[in-house]
């Protein structure tokens, strides 16, 4: 069974797009958070970003991170921090915002490293985020309403990004860094041992192609002891 699970996780990781992400600016409704992260997983986004204001900072370690265990959620407590992270990864920043300068979301080249900024449900994206964006994008609409639900808008843009990247062959070759791939494989294949490693302060061991743990006798001994006991042994 573990080999089947490892194979399934490997299939997932083969398609991950480390240079495509979503950044949610104070999106705070649980169903929207969950839907955004679920769609990100579906198109191969590996990590999303969430910016929390003082009023909803308590959600940072609960709602978003529990929405989808296969997508990392990086929490930020200021827009500047999030923007600095995204720009350090050479992302083009796209703000979902209607203005005279906005372009049709389908006109963007999503094969470039890309971060899609989503605004809060009530007020949309902030002026500061708009000013920092490389492009503002809009989804054409011909009805009476002027905007879509934030999770629906996210899905439309992400699937356009997926379409372009598939056409460019970006899903054909694994692109995730080995260290990150190994981490996800171990946490996904051996969640109980992963939790124990975190609790005891132990490094993750290697696993073979069938998902079996490769570890020294010392590692196994420490896994069976409480942390204070094996730290005492190390000090001797």
Residues flagged as binding site for S-adenosyl-L-methionine: 96, 139, 148
- CB-based contacts of 65: which residues, under 8 Å, 6+ apart? 73, 75
d(CA 186, CA 171): 23
Write down how long the chain is. 236
Q: In angstroms, what CA-CA distances link 132 with 83, 95, 97, 125, 143?
A: 8, 9, 13, 11, 30
d(CA 73, CA 61): 9
Binding residues: 96, 139, 148
d(CA 115, CA 137): 12
Helices assigned H by DSSP within 21-177: 30-43, 79-88, 127-132, 150-167
Question: Which position has the token pair 């905007």?
Answer: 147
Which burial class, exposed, middle or buried, applies to 82 when counting CB atoms under 10 A from its CB (0-12, 13-18, 19+)?
Answer: buried
Which burial class, exposed, middle or buried, applies to 183 when counting CB atoms under 10 A from its CB (0-12, 13-18, 19+)?
Answer: middle
Contact in structure between 92 and 134 (CB atoms under 8 Å): yes
Q: In angstroms, what CA-CA distances link 150 with 80, 105, 156, 210, 232?
A: 22, 14, 10, 40, 53
């Amino acid at each position: 069974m573990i080999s089947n699970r490892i194979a399934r996780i490997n299939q997932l990781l083969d398609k991950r797009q480390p240079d495509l992400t979503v950044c949610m600016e104070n999106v705070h409704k649980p169903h929207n958070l969950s839907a955004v992260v679920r769609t990100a997983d579906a198109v191969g986004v590996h990590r999303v970003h969430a910016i929390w204001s003082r009023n909803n900072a308590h959600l940072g370690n609960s709602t978003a991170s529990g929405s989808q265990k296969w997508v990392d959620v990086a929490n930020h407590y200021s827009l500047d921090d999030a923007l600095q992270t995204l720009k350090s990864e050479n992302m083009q920043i796209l703000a979902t915002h209607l203005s005279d300068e906005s372009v049709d979301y389908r006109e963007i080249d999503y094969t470039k490293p890309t971060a899609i900024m989503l605004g809060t449900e009530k007020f949309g994206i902030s002026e500061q985020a708009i000013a920092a964006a490389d492009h503002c994008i809009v989804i054409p609409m011909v009805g009476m309403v002027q905007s879509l639900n934030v999770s629906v808008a996210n899905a439309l843009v992400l699937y356009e990004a997926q379409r372009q990247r598939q056409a460019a062959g970006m899903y054909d070759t694994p692109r995730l860094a080995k260290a990150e791939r190994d981490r996800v494989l171990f946490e996904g294949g051996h969640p109980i041992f992963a939790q124990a490693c975190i609790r005891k302060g132990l490094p993750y061991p290697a696993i073979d192609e069938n998902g079996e743990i490769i570890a020294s006798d010392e590692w196994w001994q420490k896994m069976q002891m409480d942390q204070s006991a094996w730290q005492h042994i190390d000090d001797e």
